[in-house]
Amino acid sequence: NAGVTQTPKFQVLKTGQSMTLQCAQDMNHEYMSWYRQDPGMGLRLIHYSVGAGITDQGEVPNGYNVSRSTTEDFPLRLLSAAPSQTSVYFCASSSGTGYSYEQYFGPGTRLTVT
């Protein structure tokens, strides 16, 4: 199993550009989520999904869109990149809701917006 994979590993964007951060998992997990990590701020939840076709907002959703058409994939779209979106982005998955909060994280995407 590859676990949780994220692409790209590094990305530089200009202000106003759009892009999609890819996330895939091969563990048949229902629950997937996106976090951003900024120095001194911990991990902040952007969006999450409890299954294919179901998504919901987290703590910092503005400027980001998600969709979940399959169990395996959960892409994060930046609509119009801003310097405030410079961050490290992590995707995570877990087997389900209820007591199953044991999340597996991907290696991260380091995004710089100039």
Partner 1 sequence: GQQLNQSPQSMFIQEGEDVSMNCTSSSIFNTWLWYKQDPGEGPVLLIALYKAGELTSNGRLTAQFGITRKDSFLNISASIPSDVGIYFCAGANRDDKIIFGKGTRLHILP
Judged by CB under 8 A, does residue 29 bind partner 1?
no
Judged by CB under 8 A, does residue 44 bind partner 1?
yes
Among 34, 64, 74, 90, binds partner 1 (CB under 8 A): 90
Sole residue written with tokens 């990149």: 81
Contacts 24+ apart (CB under 8 A), 47-51: 47/76, 49/74, 50/97
Considering the complex, what minimum distance in angstroms separates the CB of residue 86 from partner 1?
17
3-class SS of residue 96: coil
Among 27, 58, 61, 63, binds partner 1 (CB under 8 A): 58
The residues in 60-89 that bind partner 1, with binding defined as CB under 8 A, are none
